[in-house]
Amino acid sequence: MSSFPYLTVLTVAPLVGAAGIAFLPKDKPELAKRAAFGWSLLILALTVGLWLQFKPTGERFQFRESYTWIPQWGAKFTFAVDGIALVMIALIALLVPLVVLASWHDADKSKRSVPAYFALLLALEATMIGVFAAQDVFLFYVFFEVMLVPMYFLIGSYGGHQKQYAAVKFFLYSLVGGLFMLAAVVGLWVLGGHTFDWPTLLSADFGVNAERWLFLGFFLAFAIKAPFFPFHTWLPDAGGAAQAGSAALLVGVMDKVGTFGILRYCLPLFPNASKHFAWLGLTLALVGIVYGALVAIGQQDLKRLVSYTSIAHFGFIGIGIFAFTTQAGTGAVLYMVNHGLATGLLFLVVGMLVSRRGSALVSDFGGAGKLVPVLAGVFFIAGLASLALPGTSPFVSEFLVLIGTFTVNKTVAVIATAGIILAAGYVLWMIQRTTQGTTNPKLLEIKAMSRDLSLREAAVVTPLIALILVLGFYPKPVIDVINPAIKATMSDMHVTDPKATAGTVEAGK
């Protein structure tokens, strides 16, 4: 293994970039944009190096670095990644440059500083990479909280309609969740032998009741972050108010900290409590699948609609996590990646439509495919990925989640499968109301609506579409990275996949 401190550099470098860009003069927005884009590409290149040096068959955690931080508490700067963290960091490094490119003009109309917008994006990248790379529980908690700050400003200062309300709501919800987690982190430290070191805590025994309380503390924070039903209502507000680029990062990556946290912290550290409360996780997730989809169908605002579809998708990730099989678990992590690609694309494309039209209301569109056929086509492809059509990468993850869940819990799997019908409903109806049918006469009056996909926009969507298709046909490279980490998590929990049970089990649906 290389001795290059990848994880520290990956966490610090975006912050350095952010600091540099923040001090650029306000009247040189173009310079700030180019610098941010170039810097984020450098981070991406570095991440590619990280990916190539990661050995899927090697140790569970790789690239471990540890530095003294607060010796009195035993808190350290410890970074290390397993396959799950690695794919999430890769997703971040990939999305940020695309978001920078997609957000090129988003801050121009704002009264605030343009360089600051791009500095915030890089600062967000730093905190998100940090949260996935941390192997010290206290460090994770700090990143978990600090991550809110750049996103708060991205929504509250640069967002659209009701941005202040949405930003505060987002902040308060997360903060409340964070408080519960803080309590649990403190409890973990007290009961776990005065350490925040994840590998050490893994072997700690907390006793039945304490374990359950600790589980609930973490779970609540993560359920709000993910978000699971019924803690989801901040997401449509935030997703609706944020600029499309920030929304793509918020929903595409940041929310995954919630599901990642459950996988990294709840399951391995509190295996018995996780099994005890599995019904709770499954129920919330299942309700989310059906509820999110139904409410999405009824939305009038495109960005809110996409936010609700994500609540349904998080439901799939949730049942994948709480099914406790390798198929469902690997599917859930793969789902986190694929959802980042697909919903990231969907948000960015919606942003392109909204910025042309000057409105996110579905009823302000209609027949737009006639004016912007290529953009409408990209919108459709993003929709197909969102409904998990085979050939797009989300299919593989959804299928893995469902089949893995079915082997242990048929009822949950069957109800979740009904979600694939609803998904087709919200996607196709959204497509129909915006791009198909009689062209809305108002669209003809708007000059911007006659401009199809620009070169810059094409550069944003092409890599995402290419990845969605390539991983749709050949997901093996990513699965092979995720799978060992899930296997290790399952063995932490002392669960194994059920064997196929031909003939001995009666029909059960």
Partner 1 sequence: MEPIAYTAANGWLGTFWLLPAIPLASAAVLLLLGKRADRWGHWLGVLSVATSFVLGLTYFFTLRGLENRSGVELKLWDYIGVGDFKVDLGLLFDPLSAMFVLLITGVGSLIHLYAVGYMDHDPGRRKFFGYFNLFVAAMLLLVLGNNYVMLYFGWEGVGLASYLLISFWYLKPSAATAGKKAFLMNRVGDAGFAIAIFMMFAYLGTVDYAEVFNGVHKLSSGVVLVMALLLLLGAAGKSGQFPLQAWLPDAMEGPTPVSALIHAATMVTAGVYLIARSHPIFDANSTAQTVVVAVGALTLLMGCIIGAAKDDIKRVLAWSTVSQIGYMFLGVGLGGAAYALALIHLLAHGFFKAGMFLGAGSVMHGMHDQVDIRRFGGLWKYMKITWVTFGLGWLAIIGFPGLSGFFSKEPIIVAAFEREGWTAWLFGGAALLGAGLTAFYMTRLFWLTFHGPERWTDDIRHPHESPKIMTIPLILLALGSVGAGYLLSTSVPEWLTPVYGSEHTEHEPVMSHTVITILSLVMTFAGAGLAIALFNKGTALAEQPAGPLVVAARKNLYTDSFNEAVFEAPGRYLTRALVYIDNRGIDGLVNGLAAGVGGGSGRLRRAQTGFVRSYALSILGGAVLVVAAMLAVTFG
* Binding flag, residue 68, partner 1 (CB under 8 A): yes
* Binding flag, residue 146, partner 1 (CB under 8 A): yes
* Binding flag, residue 369, partner 1 (CB under 8 A): yes
- CB-wise, 17 or 150, nearer to partner 1? 150
Contacts of 91 (CB under 8 A, 6+ apart): 252, 253, 336, 337, 340, 341
- Contact stretch for partner 1 (CB under 8 A) within 52-60, 83-91, 98-106, 365-373: 365-373
Amino acid at 145: E
- Residues 210, 187 contacting (CB under 8 angstroms): yes
- Contact stretch for partner 1 (CB under 8 A) within 30-38, 43-51, 165-173, 199-207: 165-173
Q: Which two three-digit tokens encode residue 327?
A: 């198929």
CA distance 266 to 282: 14
Beta strand segments in 62-125, E: 62-70, 75-81
Q: Which of positions 387-426 make contact with partner 1 (CB under 8 A)?
A: 389-391, 395-396, 399-400, 402-404, 406-407, 410, 413-414, 417-418, 420-421, 424-425
* Binding flag, residue 295, partner 1 (CB under 8 A): yes
Q: Which two three-digit tokens encode residue 278?
A: 């599995």
Contact with partner 1 (CB under 8 A): which of 159, 367, 383, 394? 367
Helix (H, G, I), strand (E, B) or coil at 136: strand
Which residue reads 């550099």 in tokens?
Answer: 9
Q: How far is the CB of 266 from partner 1 (least distance, A)?
A: 21
Q: How far is the CB of 289 from partner 1 (least distance, A)?
A: 13
Comparing C-alpha atoms, which of 106, 90, 448, 458 is closest to residue 247?
106
* Binding flag, residue 156, partner 1 (CB under 8 A): yes
- CB-wise, 260 or 395, nearer to partner 1? 395
* Binding flag, residue 332, partner 1 (CB under 8 A): no
CA distance 366 to 113: 35
Q: Which two three-digit tokens encode residue 153?
A: 């400003």
Other beta carbons within 10 Å of 491 = 11
Q: How many residues does the chain have?
A: 509
Which residue reads 């697909």 in tokens?
Answer: 342
Here's the x/- map for partner 1, 87-126, by CB under 8 A: it reads as: ----------------------------------------
- Contact stretch for partner 1 (CB under 8 A) within 53-61, 85-93, 138-146, 182-190: 138-146
Q: Which of positions 223-262 make contact with partner 1 (CB under 8 A)?
A: 230-231, 233
Contact with partner 1 (CB under 8 A): which of 39, 54, 61, 77? 77
Residue 186 has phi, psi (to 5 degrees) of: -65, -45
Amino acid at 301: D
* Binding flag, residue 303, partner 1 (CB under 8 A): no
Contact with partner 1 (CB under 8 A): which of 228, 291, 322, 324? 291
Residue 134 has phi, psi (to 5 degrees) of: -65, 140
* Binding flag, residue 283, partner 1 (CB under 8 A): no
Q: Which of positions 423-482 make contact with partner 1 (CB under 8 A)?
A: 424-425, 428-429, 432, 435-439, 473-476, 479
Torsion of CA 154, 157, 161, 164, to 10 degrees: 100
Q: Which of positions 176-195 make contact with partner 1 (CB under 8 A)?
A: 176, 179
* Binding flag, residue 67, partner 1 (CB under 8 A): yes
Q: How far is the CB of 410 from partner 1 (least distance, A)?
A: 8
- CB-wise, 43 or 413, nearer to partner 1? 413
Contact with partner 1 (CB under 8 A): which of 6, 153, 206, 270? 153
* Binding flag, residue 322, partner 1 (CB under 8 A): no
- H/E/C letters for each residue in 140-206? HHHHHHHCHHHHHHHHHHHCCCCHHHHHHHHHHHHHHHHHHHHHHHHHHHHHCCCCCEHHHHHCCCC
Q: Which two three-digit tokens encode residue 36?
A: 């941010």
Contacts of 421 (CB under 8 A, 6+ apart): none
- Residues 440, 364 contacting (CB under 8 angstroms): yes
- CB-wise, 196 or 206, nearer to partner 1? 196
Contact with partner 1 (CB under 8 A): which of 145, 255, 364, 457? 145
Q: How far is the CB of 438 from partner 1 (least distance, A)?
A: 6
